[in-house]
Each structure stands twice: as C-alpha cells, then as structure tokens.
A = this chain, B = another copy of it.
Amino acid sequence: MAESTVTLENTLIALVEGKKYTALRDILITMNSADIAAIFEEIAEEKLPILFRLLPKELAAETFVEMEPDAQELLIRGFSDNELKDVVDELYVDDAVDIVEEMPANVVKRILRQADPEMRKMINEILQYPEDSAGSIMTTEYVNLRPRMTAAEAIKRIRRTGVDKETIYTCYVTDGNRRLIGMVSIRTLLLAEDDAVLEDIMETNVISVSTLEDQETVARMFDKYDFLALPVVDQEDRLVGIVTVDDAMDVLQEEISEDFEKMAAITPSEKPYFKTGVFETWKQRIPWLLILMISATFTGMIITSFESALAAQVALTAFIPMLMDTGGNSGSQASVTIIRGMALDEIELSDMLRVVWKEGRVALICGLTLAACNFVKVLLIDRVSIYVAAVVCLTLAGTVFVAKLVGCTMPMVARRLGFDPAVMASPFITTIVDAISLLIYFQIAAALLRI
C-alpha cells in the first residue's frame, strides 16, 4: 500500500513538472481525497492553486478538508470569492468549523462571508462550545424525524433532505420541544413494514452525551458501544447535534498522541512532526527537562552525604547506574500498565488496593529473580567481595519492590488529584525511584559493610 502510493506520487509530480494537466486530472479524479491531499502536500506551494482547480467541485472540497492548515490558508488566500464559496458550500459544518478554528481572523471573516446564512449560523453555534468538548466536535447536520411518522414517510424525508446530512444511517426522533425521545437506524427503517410507526419501532433507550462532555470520554464511548454516531443534547435534553465515528477516531488518535507525549515528558502539540519548528519543539521539551534536572539535585545530595562511605568502598559506585536503571525500568513498567489500564477503564480509582496487592507480589518475585541472577553475575564477572554482592542484591530487591509500588500508585494519586495520570510515566517515576534506590543502597551498605 505505502509503496504504491510513493510510486504514484513520483508519476504525478513528473506530470506536474511537465504541465500535463489533462493526464493529471484523469488520474486525480480516480483517487481518494485523503491520498490526493497527501500528494498535494509534497508539491511546491506555487503549483497548488493550479492543481486544486483541476479537481471537480465535490472532490476539491473533500481534498481541501484533508489538507494541513497552512496549505488550506494558502489556497484560501489564492481563491476568488466564487471559488471560496464553491468550496464552503460543499463542506460539512463540522469540517468548516475545524478549518475556521485554525485560520487567522481575516481569513475567517472571508469564509463566513461566503458561507450561506444557515451554514454561518451553524458554524457560529458550534464555535461557542469550549475546546475539547462534545459540542466542539459535533455536527448540526443530522436527520431529525417525528414519532408519528411511518417508516415510508421517514424514508421519503431522508431521500428529500439526506444529501446535506453528514450521516443518514442513524436518525433521531424528537418531540415538539426538540427533546430527544428515540433513535432509529436506516437499517430498521428499510427492514420495517412501510406503515410501521416510528414510535413503535424506534429505540427509546438512547445513549447521549451533553454538549460539555469531554471529547475523549465521547470517543471512548464509540469504542465501547460500537456506535456510528452519538447524539449530543443540551442541559434541557434537547438534541443539538451528533458526533460521528470518523471524528471520534480522530479524537482518539489525538488523545493517544497526547498521552505518548506526556509520558515522555513533552508538552503536547497537535501539529505533525515536520510542521513544528526547531524553536517550538524546544519549547515543548525544555521545561520538563529543566524540572527533572533540578529534581535530580536530591539524588546528588544523597550521594554527597555518603561521600565518605563511597570513598571507603569505591566498588559501590560502579553499581549505582545499574540499580537506578533497574529501579526506573521496574517502576515504569508498573506505571505505564496502570496509566493504560485507567485510560481503557479497566482500572478504577477504587481498585487502588487490588492494584497494590497485585503489583506488590509481582514486585517481590521480580525483585528476587533479579537479585538472584545479579548475585551470580556480580560474584562471577565483577568479582567483588561477597559482602558487596549482598549489599547490591539486597538493594536491588528492595528497589524493585519500592519502584513498582511507587510506579503503580503515582498515576492513581495523580488522577485522584485531578491531574492526567500520563504525566506519572518513566521520567517522573525514574527521578523519584533514583533517590529512593540510593537511600536504600547506602543504608544497607552502612549496615552490612559498617562504613
């Protein structure tokens, strides 16, 4: 798949270079908008408007939606008012909102001026909802039916009005006050008798979300319930929009990228890798590096306070990195497992004791295994005294035990305090565990080696 796209890309670029626009158009119209957008992104900016004008209206609008904000802005600035209107008219309202959110104010003004009044009203409505809320990712273009309609009437209505709706596969039934009272899939409508009345065949236990619900919660509901669309209601239970599965998938990917970044001590960004500048990337990374570097001061202080012990037993220093790393890795394993388990709702805050009980036992046997293997290795390869070996291995077992307990509890404590558990991944766990492992090390060394 990836291979064939790359070859096609080269062919298309060659056609662009050779100005073979008719041949180019013939190929482009057979392609999917996502693929066209990917190829357009690779082509020199100044060619973009020419290429874009080759596409038929609908495909042009679909491709436009798939492009990156900077390319979109470039295109809009090159569009005549009529061209812009053609694109805006073809957009679904949620896509229009996504675009408007990324554009500078003067471009937004131009877009809204070209949108027809109804579209403009819907865009403005959705823009009012807070970022990352269900309201901000919903569309207001859905099929709305009445409880007294028959299946045949409903299908007729869908045929008449369906073109402009983002999905016609799930239809919503509302009462006179716009309150959501039921849901009916087009499948049910098609398989029902023509004269079946909606209120008899509709699903009345409709799962809906409030406009202010967090978008991640909404996305996870799609995952859990296998929905194609989910209705969004206001405080009075009135239907105001729907979220569709494609947008839910985008949110899921975005949130997962955010988790990955947080877990690596990076301030999340929504931009693709090559779209962030060097300085921007630096800004995402440096605060956490600084905080973690300063936190490591404690570890340094612990070593300093045991300086004389280390001077007496220089061999002890050589094991510091191994002890710290193994502790860090053990803690990270536990914390990442818990972070992911909480994200998937497999682990609740109320499970704290069960988690500690399980991790404690895992930690015990992990620690003992590692200590045993290390004891053999240290005696055979490093050839230290049996006392030093004992100190190192006891520390190892203790560190792994503490590290796993710290690793499994910190993400839950973070969630409890209202923070994202993802920040309690490797970097922070490692910093905490480092200090603890050194304390254990020097205490055991002092006791066993009398230094």
User: What size tier do the contact residues of chain A reach?
Assistant: 35 or more
Is B257 a contact of A340 with CB atoms below 8 Å? yes
Question: Could you say how many copies of this chain the assembly holds?
Answer: 2
Specify which chain B residues have a CB less than 8 angstroms from the CB of A163 in the assembled complex: 191
Specify which chain B residues have a CB less than 8 angstroms from the CB of A274 in the assembled complex: 346-347, 351, 354, 358
Q: Does A57 contact B (CB under 8 A)?
A: no
Partner of A336, one of B207, B264, B329: B264
Closest partner residue, chain B, to A369 (CB atom): B286
Closest partner residue, chain B, to A305 (CB atom): B318
Given contacts A285-B362, A362-B282, contact A322 B346 (CB under 8 A): no
The A188-218 residues at the B interface (CB cut-off 8 A) are: 190-191, 205, 207, 209, 213, 217
Partner of A187, one of B168, B266, B278, B307: B168
Given contacts A31-B205, A317-B303, A322-B299, contact A217 B362 (CB under 8 A): no
Instruction: Provide the A258-297 mask, 1 if CB < 8 A to any CB of B, else 0.
Output: 0011011110000011100011011001101110111011
Is B297 a contact of A336 with CB atoms below 8 Å? no
- Please, how many angstroms separate the alpha-carbon atoms of A186 and B168 in the complex? 9
Closest partner residue, chain B, to A158 (CB atom): B190
Looking at A17-25, A96-104, A233-241, A427-435, the stretch in contact with chain B turns out to be A427-435
Is B321 a contact of A365 with CB atoms below 8 Å? no
Q: Does A11 contact B (CB under 8 A)?
A: no
- Please, how many angstroms separate the alpha-carbon atoms of A23 and B91 in the complex? 49
Q: Does A324 contact B (CB under 8 A)?
A: yes
Q: Does A381 contact B (CB under 8 A)?
A: yes
Partner of A266, one of B294, B337, B348: B337
Is B278 a contact of A365 with CB atoms below 8 Å? yes
Given contacts A265-B333, A281-B358, contact A346 B272 (CB under 8 A): yes
Closest partner residue, chain B, to A221 (CB atom): B1
Q: Does A155 contact B (CB under 8 A)?
A: yes
Instruction: Provide the A122-163 mask, 1 if CB < 8 A to any CB of B, else 0.
Output: 000000000000000000000000000000000100110011
Specify which chain B residues have a CB less than 8 angstroms from the CB of A297 in the assembled complex: 322, 377, 381-382
Specify which chain B residues have a CB less than 8 angstroms from the CB of A430 in the assembled complex: 325, 328-329, 430
Partner of A307, one of B289, B314, B333: B314
Partner of A273, one of B31, B307, B321, B347: B347
- Please, how many angstroms separate the alpha-carbon atoms of A430 and B327 in the complex? 12
Specify which chain B residues have a CB less than 8 angstroms from the CB of A348 in the assembled complex: 2
Q: Considering residues A2, A226, A252, A438, which has the most beta carbons from chain B within 10 angstroms of its beta carbon?
A: A226
Given contacts A159-B191, A322-B293, contact A426 B332 (CB under 8 A): yes
Q: Does A249 contact B (CB under 8 A)?
A: yes
Is A293 a contact of B370 with CB atoms below 8 Å? yes
Q: Does A319 contact B (CB under 8 A)?
A: yes
Is A310 a contact of B321 with CB atoms below 8 Å? no
Is B332 a contact of A427 with CB atoms below 8 Å? yes
Specify which chain B residues have a CB less than 8 angstroms from the CB of A253 in the assembled complex: 223, 344
| A310: min CB distance to chain B, Å | 6
Q: Does A14 contact B (CB under 8 A)?
A: no
Specify which chain B residues have a CB less than 8 angstroms from the CB of A314 in the assembled complex: 307, 310-311
Q: Does A34 contact B (CB under 8 A)?
A: yes
Q: Does A373 contact B (CB under 8 A)?
A: yes
Q: Does A112 contact B (CB under 8 A)?
A: no
Q: Can you identify 17 A-B contacts, CB atoms within 8 angstroms?
A: A2-B348, A31-B205, A34-B226, A162-B187, A169-B186, A222-B249, A223-B253, A282-B369, A289-B329, A297-B322, A297-B377, A300-B319, A300-B322, A307-B314, A321-B434, A321-B438, A426-B426
